[in-house]
Amino acid sequence: MLLLLLPAVLAVQAMAVMELRVPEQPVVALYGQDAILNCSFSHPNVFNLSDLSIFWQLTDTKRNVHTYSEGRDLLVDQAEGFANRTSLFPTQLKLGNASLLLSKVVVADEGSYTCFVRVQDYGRAALFLQVAAPYTKPVLTLQPESNLRPGDKVALTCVAYGGYPEGSVVWQDGSGRNLTENVTVSLVANEEGLFTMTSVLTVMLEPNSTYSCQLINPLLGEDGFAFLTITGQNIAFPPVALWVTVGLAVCLLMLLVALAAVCRRKIKESCEEARREAEEAKEFDEDETETAMTPLKTKAVA
């Protein structure tokens, strides 16, 4: 009975699953740079490279990324997008290193990769590759730039180019208050899959106010910061307020003219009244003099 079961046991051992080790966290690769997709295995016995097979493929689409078998690379069925961009580490294969070197990473490389290894027994494991590209320094502009009035609605536009993946933009005013809820964001990809991010903040204009935008790449951290200060030179004096000021100035001028005329009339009246009083006093003195001399003249005649 034991002899009958022995071949079955050997068959199970021959099909045992080999344990592979790959990164648990996503591998982050910079756009345009080389990336290593780590995959390692251990085997208890010494083996020949002719007995080793390594097969890398895209997990979702099953497309062939790189194949090694019978001591050499077999790239006939390799997906076109990976041509001349993949290689293994030949001197480290016997040490259990089945890692893949991926050159000049592009956005389309992002995704899940499965590493297959077989040396008598076999194993497989998957890892995830994320692509990251830094954005340019944000450029912050104001629209419109002139003929601005306090209380007008203005659009502040923050633009950054050539980044990946989609970032986030944080808006703040000069006091550090978060204004991000009032923004609109657009994302446009170029032929390489890199993004141009445009964030627009609409605010009510206030003189001597400062606004800033901060672009954050979720994989690389902060990519850039820009700020803009709106001074009194950017703001035109409101036409309505100008007419009100002119009107007040005219009214004040007319009031001053009227006041001057009243004062002049009052002064003139005061002068005439003083002159009349002087004349009346003179006439009174003359009458008193004549009254006093009249009796003397009468006595002399007698």
pLDDT of residue 256: 75
175 falls within a domain: yes
> Do 170 and 155 have their domain in common?
yes
pLDDT of residue 2: 31
> Do 60 and 111 have their domain in common?
yes
> Do 213 and 178 have their domain in common?
yes
Helix and strand totals (H; E) in the chain: 2, 18
CATH number of 219's domain: 2.60.40.10
246 falls within a domain: no
> Do 78 and 148 have their domain in common?
no
Query: Which residues form the domain of 217?
Result: 136-230
72 falls within a domain: yes
164 falls within a domain: yes
Per the confidence metrics, is the pTM higher than 0.85?
Answer: no
pLDDT of residue 231: 75
pLDDT of residue 143: 85
Q: Which residue, among 136, 138, 176, 39, has the nearest Cα to 95 in the 3D structure?
A: 39
Q: What is the domain count for the chain? A: 2
Among residues 132, 155, 175, the one where a domain terminates is: 132
> Do 163 and 113 have their domain in common?
no
pLDDT of residue 144: 80
- Residue reference for tokens 């995959």: 39
pLDDT of residue 91: 95
Neighbours of 93 (CB within 10 A): 18
> Do 151 and 181 have their domain in common?
yes
> Do 85 and 116 have their domain in common?
yes
Instruction: Report the alpha-carbon distance of residue 153 to residue 172 in Å, rounded.
Output: 17
pLDDT of residue 7: 32
Instruction: Report the alpha-carbon distance of residue 211 to residue 145 in Å, rounded.
Output: 15
Among residues 101, 132, 163, the one where a domain terminates is: 132
Residue ranges in the chain modelled with pLDDT below 50: 1-15, 233-243, 296-302
pLDDT of residue 301: 40
Among residues 230, 245, 277, the one where a domain terminates is: 230
pLDDT of residue 217: 95
pLDDT of residue 60: 96
284 falls within a domain: no
Instruction: Report the alpha-carbon distance of residue 177 to residue 181 in Å, rounded.
Output: 11
